[in-house]
Amino acid sequence: MFAGLAASMRSMPTTLPELSSVTPKLTAFPVFMRVEGRRVVIVGGGDEALAKARLLAQSAAAISVVAARPERELVAWAPANGVAIVEASYEPRHIEGAALVFAATGEEEADRAVVRDARRLDIPVNAVDRPELCDFFTPALVNRAPVAVAIGTEGAGPVLAQMIRARIDQMLSPSLGILASLANQYRAAAERLLPKGAARRGFWKEFFTGAPARAVEAGDREDARRAAAALLRDGGRAAGHVALVGAGPGAEDLLTLRAHRLLMEADVIVHDALVPEAVISLGRRDAERIAAGKRKGCHSKTQAEINELLVALGRAGRRIVRLKSGDPLVFGRAGEEMQALRDAGISYEVVPGVTAAFAAAADFELPLTLRGVASSLVFTTGHDLKGAALPDWAKLAIDGATVAVYMGRSTAAEVAARLAAAGLSPDTAVAVVENASLGRRRLFHGTLADLPSLQDRADLDGPVMTIIGDAVAGANFERSEPLAARIGAEAAA
Ligand code: SAH
Question: For residue 122, what are the contacts with CB-CB under 8 A and spacing of at least 6?
Answer: none
Contact 308, 230 (CB under 8 A): no
Parallel/antiparallel/unpaired status of strands 288-293 and 268-272: parallel
Nearest residue by C-alpha to atom 11 in ligand 1:
406
pLDDT averaged per 10 residues, the chain (length 493): 48 58 85 97 97 96 98 97 97 97 97 98 96 94 96 85 92 93 94 90 91 93 94 87 97 95 94 94 92 67 95 95 97 96 96 98 97 93 75 86 94 92 94 97 97 92 96 94 67 44
Q: How far is the CA of 251 from the centre of ligand 1 (A)?
A: 12
- Distance between Cα 172 and ligand 1 center (Å): 29
Closest ligand 1 atom number to CA of residue 356: 8
Ligand 1 centre to CA of 436 (Å) is: 8
User: Given 117, 294, 327, 363, which residue is catalytic?
Assistant: 294
- Distance of CA 217 from the midpoint of ligand 1 (Å): 29
To the query of whether residue 272 is one of the catalytic residues in this protein, the response is: yes
Q: Are 419 and 402 in contact (CB under 8 A)?
A: no
Atom nearest to 327 CA in ligand 1: 7
- Catalytic annotation, pick one of 272, 327, 450, 470: 272
Which residue is closest in CA terms to ligand 1's atom 13? 407
From 255, 407, 440, 460, the mutation candidate for ligand 1 (largest count of ligand atoms within 8 A of CB) is 407
CA–CA gap between residue 415 and residue 19 (Å, rounded): 64
Torsion sign over Cα 387, 393, 398, 404? negative
pLDDT of residue 156: 74
Cα–Cα distance for residue pair 343/328, rounded to 1 Å: 19
Give the atom of ligand 1 at the shortest distance from the alpha carbon of 437: 22
Q: Which homologous superfamily is 39-138 in? A: NAD(P)-binding Rossmann-like Domain (3.40.50.720)
> Which alpha helices (DSSP H) does 13-102 contain, by range?
47-56, 72-77
**How many whole angstroms from its chain centre is CA 126?**
34
Testing ligand 1's pocket by substitution, the residue of 464, 467, 468 carrying the most ligand atoms inside 8 A of its CB is: 464
Contact 117, 141 (CB under 8 A): no
Residues 6 or more apart in contact with residue 328 via CB below 8 angstroms: 244, 245, 246, 322, 334, 350, 351, 352, 353
Nearest CA to ligand 1 atom 6: 326
Cα 359 to ligand 1 centre (Å): 9
Q: Which residues line ligand 1 (CB under 6 A)?
A: 249-250, 274, 324-327, 330-332, 355-356, 359-360, 406-407, 433, 435-437, 463-465
Which atom in ligand 1 lies closest to the alpha carbon of residue 381?
15
Pick the CATH number of 241-354 from 3.40.1010.10, 3.40.50.1100, 3.30.565.10, 2.60.40.10: 3.40.1010.10
Taking the centre of ligand 1 as the mean of its atom positions, its distance from the CA of residue 366, in whole angstroms, is 17
Centroid of ligand 1 to alpha carbon of 276 (angstroms): 12
Q: How many residues does the chain have?
A: 493
Is 438 in a helix, a strand, or coil? coil
Atom of ligand 1 nearest to the CA of 407: 13
Q: What is the DSSP letter of 471?
A: G
Handedness of CA 33, 39, 43, 44 (dihedral sign): positive
Among 465, 466, 467, 480, which is best to mutate for testing ligand 1, by the most ligand atoms less than 8 A from CB? Answer: 465
The pLDDT of residue 299:
56
What residue owns the CA closest to ligand 1's atom 5?
A: 331
What is the SS3 assignment for 206? helix
Q: How many CB atoms lie within 10 A of CB 410?
A: 14
Domain positions in the chain are 39-138, 176-233, 241-354, 357-492
Give CA angle at 99 (94, 101), nearest 5°: 55
Residues 6+ apart with CB under 8 A from 10: none
C-alpha of residue 464 to centroid of ligand 1, in Å: 7
Quick one: pLDDT at residue 383? Answer: 80
pLDDT at site 493: 41
Alpha-carbon gap, residue 100 to 463, rounded angstroms: 59
Query: Model's pTM, two decimal places?
Result: 0.79
CATH of domain 357-492: 3.30.950.10
* Residues 43 and 113 sit within 8 Å (Cβ to Cβ): no
Looking at residue 4, its pLDDT comes to 47
The alpha carbon of 390 and the centre of ligand 1 are apart by a number of angstroms equal to 23
HSE-up of residue 102 (Cα within 13 Å, Cβ side) = 28
**419: nearest Cα among 370, 385, 443, 444:** 385
Give the distance (Å) from ligand 1 centre to CA of residue 330. Answer: 9
Q: Which atom of ligand 1 is nearest to the CA of 324?
A: 1
Q: Looking at the CA of residue 353, tell me the nearest atom of ligand 1.
A: 7
